[in-house]
């Protein structure tokens, strides 16, 4: 019996993801039986199973089935493709999702993921603000944990990401994090316009502000020092005579 098919059967029947080491442990346990074929696999190591798992994943990917084999946080499992989510939700119902992380929490989590292990003071130095509340949230969510102590005065605690972090973001390991140069190459589309855009509002970009319309010219009243027309008293308008002219 081909070892690849045995591994496939184990992963298909397992109720949880399995690491190569755990799969090797199952093979060793099965070798205690009197089955000669099982005994022949007793010395199989986890590292020997990694190329077989990669090959098995490629086979399922090429077959184009509704499910595939993936490695998340170092453990392998079969998962359904996202294309079938609407039917699976109708079968299993909606599951309550945890509240989304705030922007400060995501920024802090990114710093920890790329710079770990590091202390809270180092995180605050990078962000420029206090991270006490944000770090508490990340620890409570199980995304960040204490991983040791720094070689510095006071031996402050250092932090790193957890296995749950890899599972949440679908990563095999930290090596699958996007490189910094890849992040710089991402194209960010500028929105066509802001819903609240209106000339004079602070939400409108400066280059899109409508130019101010100059006020209409209003004739200035003559000043008191201006000379009155000849024959009229200064500052007084000519008056109409009520008496008819003499013949």
Tell me the CA distances in angstroms from 128 to 26, 75, 199, 233, one per residue in order: 50, 37, 34, 75
Distance of CA 156 to the CA centre of its chain: 28
Read off the tokens for 92: 């299993």
Tell me the average pLDDT across 14-20. Answer: 93
- C-alpha pair distances (Å), 91 with each of 88, 94, 95: 5, 9, 12
Q: Are 3 and 29 in contact (CB under 8 A)?
A: no
Q: 229 pLDDT exceeds 70?
A: no
- Spatial strand order in the sheet of 144-149: 118-119, 157-161, 144-149
Give the percent of the chain with pLDDT over 70.
72
**Gap between the Cα atoms of 204 and 218, Å rounded:** 31
* Domain made up of 3-92: CATH architecture: Orthogonal Bundle (1.10)
- pTM exceeds 0.85 for this model: no
What are the sequence ranges of the domains in the chain?
A: 3-92, 103-182
Q: Which CATH number applies to 103-182: 3.90.79.10, 1.10.10.10, 3.40.50.150, 1.10.150.130? A: 1.10.10.10
- What pLDDT digit, counting tens, does each position of 146-202 carry? 999 988 888 999 999 999 999 888 898 898 898 866 655 656 554 454 444 444 444
Is the CB of residue 16 less than 8 Å from the CB of residue 1? no
227 pLDDT exceeds 70?
Answer: no
Hey, what are 240's tokens?
């109409």
């Amino acid at each position: 019996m081909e070892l690849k098919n045995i591994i496939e059967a184990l992963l298909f029947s397992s109720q949880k993801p399995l690491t190569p080491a755990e799969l090797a442990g199952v093979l060793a346990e099965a070798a205690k039986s009197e089955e000669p074929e099982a005994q022949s696999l007793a010395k199989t190591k986890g590292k020997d199973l990694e190329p077989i798992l990669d090959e098995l994943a490629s086979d399922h990917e090429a077959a184009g089935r509704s499910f595939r084999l993936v490695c998340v946080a170092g453990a392998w499992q079969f998962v359904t493709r996202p294309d079938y989510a609407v039917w699976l939700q109708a079968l299993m119902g909606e599951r309550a999702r945890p509240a989304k992380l705030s922007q400060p929490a995501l920024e802090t989590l990114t710093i920890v993921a790329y710079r770990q292990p590091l202390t809270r003071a180092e995180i605050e130095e990078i962000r420029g603000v206090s991270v006490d509340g944000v770090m508490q949230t990340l620890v409570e969510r199980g995304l960040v944990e204490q991983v040791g102590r720094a070689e510095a005065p006071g031996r402050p605690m250092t932090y790193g990401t957890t296995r749950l972090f890899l599972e949440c973001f679908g990563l095999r390991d930290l090596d699958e994090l996007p490189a910094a140069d890849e992040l710089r190459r991402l194209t960010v589309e500028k929105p066509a316009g802001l819903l609240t855009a209106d000339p004079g509002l602070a939400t409108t970009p400066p280059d899109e502000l409508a130019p101010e319309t100059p006020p209409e010219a209003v004739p200035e009243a003559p000043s008191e020092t201006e000379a009155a027309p000849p024959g009229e008293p200064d500052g007084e308008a000519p008056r109409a005579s009520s008496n008819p002219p003499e013949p």
